[in-house]
Amino acid sequence: MRVKLVLGGEAVNIPKTDIGLGIAFIRVWVDGNGFTSASNDLGTLGYILLETPEIDVGDIDEERKALFSQLHGRVVHYDIKPNIFVKSGGIARIAMTISVQADGGLSDKKIEFQADSCTGVSLVSNALSFSCEMLQEEKKLAELDNATFLPEDVVATAADNAPATQQAEEAPA
């Protein structure tokens, strides 16, 4: 099974409170099928624009293969732990979990992978953790042909315009 992920999002505290608000968009390709969604619960403060290379997660059991190959209409929980990086060389550990009803309870089915040489900008305070319902993209939009989704100029613009870290904002003048 081959997986590629693109994630963008930002979360900040509401001024003079400890309440954080965040938004994110996500696109995932699994064996050539593209899925997309958005979330208003990024799960950590910061700014991220992340593109992983296509990763071979190896052979997985038939149940998980059936679940993750067809994400349309499924709620997927993402746990994404990137290092801090700008433009290239990022590392991200990613877990995708789908909960299924089984014997009167929930059973979690998960795939995990680590992506090296990620592209983008990652300035987040902690791991990201959020859930969203995935929608299948039109085949035309989903086709990758091993291409990079984020053009270099978009990544450069995102890096140049990334918000300053909270520590820098709070430093005395």
More confident residue, 147 or 161: 161
How far is the C-alpha of 80 from the C-alpha of 29, rounded, in Å? 16
Mean pLDDT score across all residues of the chain: 85
Tokens representing 125 are: 């305070």
Q: Give tens-digit pLDDT for 82-136.
A: 999 888 889 999 999 999 998 889 999 999 999 999 999 999 888 999 999 999 9
* Predicted pLDDT of residue 157: 72
Number of domains in the chain: 1
- Domain of 45 in residue numbering reads as 2-170
State residue 172's pLDDT score: 45
Round to whole Å and give the CA distance between 158 and 52: 16
The whole-model pTM stands at 0.80
141-150 pLDDT, tens digit each: 555 555 666 6
Residues 6+ apart with CB under 8 A from 105: none
